[in-house]
Structure 1
Amino acid sequence: MIVSAQPRGARQLKPKGETVTIEISQEIADRLVNAPSEALNVEIKRWISPSEPKGIAKIAIACMALRNRNGGYLVIGLDDDTLQPSTEGKPTDIRATFHIDVVQQIVSKYASVPFEVAVAFGNRDGSEFPVIAVGAGVTFPVAASKELAPDGKPLIRQHAVYFRTLNASGVPSSSPARHSDWREIVEICFENREADIGRFLRRHLGAAGAAAFMEQATPSGKLQLKDRAIEALNRNEERLKISLASQGLGHLYGAKGTWSALLLFDPPLPHDASLSDFLNTIAGANPSYTGWPVWLDSRGFQVEEFRPKVIDKAWEAQIISLDESWSGKHADFYRFDRVGELYLWRVLQDDLTDKVKAGTTLDPALMMYRVLEVLAVGLAFARAFGRGAETTLAFAFRWTKLQGRELDSWADRSRYISSHGKAAGDIADGYTELPADSPPEAIAPFAQAATRDLYELWDGWQYPLGAIEQQLERLLKRSL
């Protein structure tokens, strides 16, 4: 039985076979075309025709490769080198040309196991660009069921398993799986077959027992690693202040509520890679779970000052846009150090929206999504660098300007939360660590541990583990 909710900004066709619910919001579509960046889960193509063999092949191969990568997005109409809008081959009627029925028919015809896609149209400078979303949840590889070979030249190879992988230069591409790709393909399928370990444990141990079990599974006795992570967080906060002050934006620090996160690899990554290759690797590995992902690659942004720069042997990016003129309101700072130290700082979305008064609320579910995203993206980075059980990922968090705020699910009123009074503190820190080979489906207890001190500011409240697991499932399926 196929169950599929109608997505926001996209219409779906429900194919027969293995499917999962797939949605794409207008926010995600707009971000992908206004701030484009190719990654393992995001492919960018110039204008193509879904009615011609070359266009059909590109759509089918890209969608199968993304499916085997566990979902992602195909963005059409941008130059994949310059990331700027392309005009050559642009159809007169974009929505009719890339109608969901047209795209779904191509996928269902050439994929050995038909899977669900969705189509939305991102807006950029008054023009629309198709964004095809491919669902997560692959449990065995999808191969090409038939060949497409006009004039005897194969554009799609029958039986080939296409996969999004990094080429020798660290650039993502879609191609037939190589022998070195199969381990990762099998791991992705295995993790989906064993999806939601936390739910399995709850079924046998109960929620409290599962949380205790996962706590015991977390590396213990690493006080030194925690101290190093917190020290790195503090050090990057100082770099943030310097960066804001250099742009005349020092007043932002301490003026609004913020959250920050620090990811630390232990042992560190070897620093013999070039800065360019390092950035290509983390940019290509980012799964882009949300419309404005953590540690995003801003090299393709239209505003030059938002693009990353090398400062003191690390990449820094500052994205301050406090009006609606460019992809909404954002205030972000990133620092990527190739030894395996990644930092991000953001103004709380609760203080940038017009839906609630700044400084008065914190949406607990919205914040939990972000924490889950930080952990999941950290695991994706670790996989891209070939790290496994021998590596521990340490995550340190900090939230500021919390005093007097109330918990309010303003971003989605269907998520009811009862009153827990006002925050009884202004700053909260969080910390967790997990092995680099942890499956993303198992991170809910770690997110609960990382946010414990944050949510306890509201009369000792604790975010229910079951609710976190539900949000994690939505995050990994990119159905926010």
Structure 2
Amino acid sequence: MTIDLTDLVDSPREALDIELKSWLDLSEGVNKANLARHIAALCNHGGGYLVFGFQDDFSVAPDRPASLDAYNHDVFNAIIKRYLLPTFECHVLKVESSAGQEYPIIHIPGHEATPVCAVRDGPQDGNGRPQGLRSGTYYIRAPGPESTPITSPQQWSALIRRCILNDRETLLREMSHVLQDKQTGVPGIEERLSAWDKANGERFDSLLNAAQNFSWPVPLADNHYRLSYLIRHEDQHIPINQLRALLEEVNNEVRDTVWTGWSMFYPFTRPEIAATVHPENPDGTGGDLLETNLIGNGQFDTSMPDFWRVAPDGRATLVRGYREDARLEDPGQWLSPETVLRETAELIRHARAFARHFPTASTVSFRCTWTGLNGRQIRDIDPSIYWSPGRIATATKRITGGEWPVVKLNTDWHQIVAELGCPILTLFGIDFCSKEMVAGMAPRFVKL
């Protein structure tokens, strides 16, 4: 299945969270120092990507190496350990473009409570000056884009705010044992979420009905799941022109918990599938929101017919068909327990990351609807995961939901996944689903 990073190599671009590089000799000291500067800046920006194989004009770089083996995990993490503090790990992926060429993409995570600093000079030039980066310097992404030393209060401001948010989350995690465990049950929240969820279900139905020559192995209208959440806060809405970039940042954060290569709420940039601004209501009224419609009119050999909407006030809904119907024989017959729990975990992690952008966020409410279950049998997409046969659902639909303090999305997410996801599996006779089961599966949620 095409991963969402294919967008970066099919439509290469540079942005504050994306740095394009041509093919480099990674054994050369100056190249390592320059990469360390970009890595530090991307990390201090909140995370991003180094994409190799492209020139500054976005064209494919010449002199492609015969092998991409030099672009590996050990090389880049050695650069980080040599030049930067605190150290962290990046992820190296080889992403195939639609034209069939592979390109290395390095995923740089965002910093935690402490920003990343250069702790060693780059190699000296003929005049004794360090090249690439200078010890004791904090780098940040700046318009251009470029990776530069922090020189202004404005550049420090965004970095300090992220540090405070990360430190706040750590503090809340450490204090969570004194917080109340019960759900808050704020009047009106459940009704608002239900209305939002229902409206997006109707929007999905209308787009599906309008799609011509649509092809999916089973009737998608009756075989999909809809995952929604609502963040309770007292802040101003995020400006709509900032929401796309914010979702890219959120998507970056989610990948520490779930990363399959097909992310929820991923803001593609190719014009035919890019997230676009829509009014909330069918009659053109209501506020603006971002919407992505991948239902399209064609085949889905390398993608999924996703539909999602995100509102600037902290509401989000994703509608997705069962990937089991596209990946296994006998479509419509199977349900993967790992997929149910992993998708639920990704929704919770996304809500947690989005909530960080609302300083007064207190709770998040979830509503999860799984339909088309009747007659499906338990089976995992991964053939190495075995489930005893004969676990068949007799109910068509299951809706779960609840409301939790934001801190619980960090400190107790295994339990929340269990409360939202296990009722679906119970319909199949899996009566042993629990937060311990979720915790045991969790390492498999990051597949890249």
TM-score (normalised: structure 1): 0.73
1:470 is displaced (CA, Å) by: 3.5
Aligned match of 1:409 in 377, 380, 387?
380
Cα distance change, pair 218–94 in 1 and its aligned pair in 2 (3 A): farther
Conservation of the 8 A alpha-carbon contact between 2:85 and 2:117: yes
Deviations 1:273-317, CA, capped at 9 Å, x for gaps = 542222222233222522111111012x3xx32122222232221
Conservation of the 8 A alpha-carbon contact between 2:46 and 2:249: no
2:117 aligns with 143
Asked if 1:121 is matched to 2:94, the reply is: yes
Q: Which amino acid aligns with 2:104?
A: P
1:185 is displaced (CA, Å) by: 3.1
1:107 aligns with 80
CA RMSD of aligned residues (A): 4.1
Asked if 1:317 is matched to 2:292, the reply is: yes
1:241 is displaced (CA, Å) by: 1.7
Cα distance change, pair 277–221 in 1 and its aligned pair in 2 (3 A): closer
Asked if 1:286 is matched to 2:251, the reply is: yes
Deviations 1:84-109, CA, capped at 9 Å, x for gaps = x5324654446155355543443332
Paired residue secondary structure (1:440) = helix
Deviations 1:395-449, CA, capped at 9 Å, x for gaps = 21111100011111232x4444345621121011111222334453531111111
Paired residue secondary structure (1:60) = helix
Q: Which amino acid aligns with 1:307?
A: A
Q: Structure 1 CA distance, aligned partners of 2:188 and 2:262?
A: 33
1:270 aligns with 236
1:35 is displaced (CA, Å) by: 7.4
Q: Which amino acid aligns with 1:292?
A: W
Paired residue secondary structure (1:359) = coil
1:332 is displaced (CA, Å) by: 0.5
Which deviates further from its counterpart, 60-69 or 424-433? 60-69
Q: Structure 1 CA distance, aligned partners of 2:215 and 2:92?
A: 41
1:8 aligns with none
Paired residue secondary structure (1:108) = helix
What is the aligned residue count?
423
Q: Which amino acid aligns with 1:182?
A: I
Asked if 1:181 is matched to 2:159, the reply is: yes
Q: Structure 2 CA distance, aligned partners of 1:404 and 1:429?
A: 17
Aligned match of 1:219 in 170, 178, 183?
183
Q: For residues 198-277 of structure 1, what are the structure 2 equivalents within 5 Å?
A: 217-222=181-186, 224-248=188-212, 254-255=220-221, 257-267=223-233, 270-271=236-237, 274-277=239-242
Asked if 1:59 is matched to 2:35, the reply is: yes
Asked if 1:376 is matched to 2:342, the reply is: no
1:127 is displaced (CA, Å) by: 1.8
Paired residue secondary structure (1:429) = strand
Paired residue secondary structure (2:245) = helix
Cα distance change, pair 439–230 in 1 and its aligned pair in 2 (3 A): closer
Q: Structure 1 CA distance, aligned partners of 2:143 and 2:195?
A: 35
Q: Which amino acid aligns with 1:263?
A: Y
Q: Structure 2 CA distance, aligned partners of 1:74 and 1:345?
A: 30
1:18 aligns with none
Q: Structure 2 CA distance, aligned partners of 1:79 and 1:333?
A: 33
1:221 is displaced (CA, Å) by: 2.8
Paired residue secondary structure (1:468) = helix
Cα distance change, pair 60–261 in 1 and its aligned pair in 2 (3 A): same
Conservation of the 8 A alpha-carbon contact between 2:415 and 2:434: no
Q: Which amino acid aligns with 1:443?
A: W
Paired residue secondary structure (1:345) = strand
Asked if 1:298 is matched to 2:268, the reply is: yes
Q: Which amino acid aligns with 2:274?
A: R
Conservation of the 8 A alpha-carbon contact between 1:91 and 1:97: no
Conservation of the 8 A alpha-carbon contact between 2:229 and 2:365: yes
Q: Structure 1 CA distance, aligned partners of 2:7 and 2:174?
A: 29
Conservation of the 8 A alpha-carbon contact between 1:69 and 1:188: no
Conservation of the 8 A alpha-carbon contact between 2:314 and 2:354: no
Conservation of the 8 A alpha-carbon contact between 2:7 and 2:268: no
- Identity percentage over the alignment? 21
Q: Which runs of 5 or more structure 2 residues have no equivalent in the other structure?
A: 280-287
Asked if 1:155 is matched to 2:128, the reply is: no
Conservation of the 8 A alpha-carbon contact between 1:308 and 1:317: yes
Deviations 1:82-136, CA, capped at 9 Å, x for gaps = 9xx5324654446155355543443332123554445332111122211224579
Conservation of the 8 A alpha-carbon contact between 1:100 and 1:118: yes
1:174 is displaced (CA, Å) by: 8.2
Paired residue secondary structure (1:157) = coil
Q: Structure 1 CA distance, aligned partners of 2:14 and 2:111?
A: 21
Cα distance change, pair 194–406 in 1 and its aligned pair in 2 (3 A): farther
1:307 aligns with 274
Q: Which runs of 5 or more structure 1 residues have no equivalent in the other structure?
A: 1-24, 202-212
